[in-house]
Amino acid sequence: MNNKKIYINTVGCQMNVNDSERIAAMLQPLGYIQTKKRQEADLILFNTCTVRAGAEESLLQNIANLKNLKSKKTGKILIAVAGCVAQQMGEQLLKRYPWVDLVVGTHNLHLLPDMLMDAENGKQRVETAFLDDNAEVERFSAIRREARISAFVTVMQGCDNFCSYCIVPFVRGREVSRRFTDVLDEVSELAAIGVKEIVLLGQNVNSYGIKGVKQPPFFVLLRAVTAISGIERVRFVTSHPKDMSDDLISCFAELPKLCGSLHLPAQSGSNRILRAMNRGYTREHYLDTIGKLRKARPDIKITGDMIVGFPGETEAEFEETLSLMEEVNYFDLFSFVYSPRPGTKAAEFDDNLEKEVKLERLGRLQKLQGIHSRIHNEGYVGSTQRVLVEGLAKRHGQVSGRCDSGRIVNLTGTPSLIGKTVDVKILEGYANSLLGELEK
Ligand code: SF4
């Protein structure tokens, strides 16, 4: 079979990164191997995100620019659009950009090989129908993967929370949990090929097992995954503050393999804004949860997301967000200016804040977070961290891994360290990473 090359452009959340991995594995039997050079690709696939307006606009510009590439390239080049923009725009994408060959929605990735064969024969296709809740095989088929150190394992998909600003429930569909035994089987298979770290993945992993076909609760799944021999570390993402149960929090005290970091997006520090966002918790509840987590695992590192400039956000409400940040002392924070997403509840609100005001607030918030992150990183200096070495660092002669909190640690060492967990003395703390040396 002649090898063809696929260039995958992935934007957005970890779910999309995982789907891109699934796509690459799925298309391998058709002779497609991945390339990082778009100009040599036979197939360009955009795996898209519609959570923020900016990402969607730049995707559409990219697709528009491909018209020339497609007409100039000798031989046939195929263009595919997957992910949330594909789900939302469907047929419209083909109407606007007739040089696109296929549009595959968030529930239809299993159809991709078939769609691609049609595209190779000149037939355009759009597939965006949502699957039935029982279509587990199509949704959750395990990815056949090469040996690696760390792997994501999807445990649930979709979201029922309908936060007022968020498009995800409309483009990813309702919450469906993967069968408990299937998750454990995939983790066992990964352990057998040498995977050491598992990241359990879902839009809202805390509500695993609750919706659709019932499964044991997430904390039970977590305990079972950490019990699998060969797996040294377990993380999970993303959590919803309203669904962090005491049973789940106690896992941080009781499971040594569960890493001491948690992504727990607050989105705002103001109760009025949280209500308008339909987040389902208050600032007090959020802080209470953080307190319980710190009691269970005193050194736990909390990361989060914040939206700045939600419709009607006053200066005082924004300052409540800053004060929440001071109280939580985030390890890292992903922060965004609010942008209305058509079809969501918040898109009907009066988006009355000037762009300059939003950007000015974002700048203040990011400056504060920069200080907090730097203090966290500098706090590591002189300590010894257990580091799971994952690969070569960018700098020659160094390898790179992560400590328990997930922070990247670079250290001098040979490739023989890859896959090992080693004690590393931390020498320097930078903005986003640490530098260390093997403990003597
Ligand atoms: S919990 Fe809210 S923000 Fe997260 S995916 Fe669901 S609707 Fe979107």
DSSP 260-304: SEEE---B-S-HHHHHHTT-S--HHHHHHHHHHHHHHSTT-EEEE
pLDDT of residue 73: 63
Helices (H) and strands (E) in the chain, counts: 14, 19
Phi first, then psi: what are they for 179, rounded to 5°? -60, 135
pLDDT of residue 331: 97
CA distance 383 to 393: 21
| Start-end of CATH 3.40.50.12160 domains in the chain | 4-127
Residues with CB under 6 A from ligand 1: 159, 161-163, 166, 168-169, 203-204, 240
| DSSP 8-class letter at 258 | B
Low-confidence ranges of the chain (pLDDT < 50): none
CATH 2.40.50.140 fits 384-438, yes or no: yes
| Start-end of CATH 3.30.750.200 domains in the chain | 292-379
pLDDT of residue 39: 84
CATH class of 292-379: alpha beta
Tell me the CA–centroid distance for residue 15 and ligand 1, in Å. 13
**Tell me, which fold does domain 4-127 have in CATH?**
Rossmann fold (3.40.50)
Tell me the CA–centroid distance for residue 169 and ligand 1, in Å. 7
Question: Residue 152: exposed, middle, or buried by beta-carbon count in 10 A (0-12, 13-18, 19+)?
Answer: buried
- Amino acid 407 reads R
Give the count of beta carbons closer than 10 Å to the beta carbon of residue 68.
10
pLDDT of residue 404: 96
CA distance 345 to 217: 30
Tell me the CA–centroid distance for residue 161 and ligand 1, in Å. 6
State how far the alpha carbon of 307 is from the alpha carbons of 257, 269, 270, 274, 293, in Å.
Answer: 32, 10, 11, 11, 23
**Tell me, which fold does domain 134-259 have in CATH?**
Transcription Regulator spoIIAA (3.30.750)
Nearest by Cα to 266 from 246, 247, 294, 285:
285
pTM of the model: 0.89
pLDDT of residue 1: 56
Ligand 1 atom 2 nearest Cα: 163
pLDDT of residue 67: 86
Neighbour-count burial for 189-201, b at 16+ CB within 10 Å, e otherwise? ebbeeebbbbbbb
pLDDT of residue 16: 84
Closest ligand 1 atom, CA of 279? 2
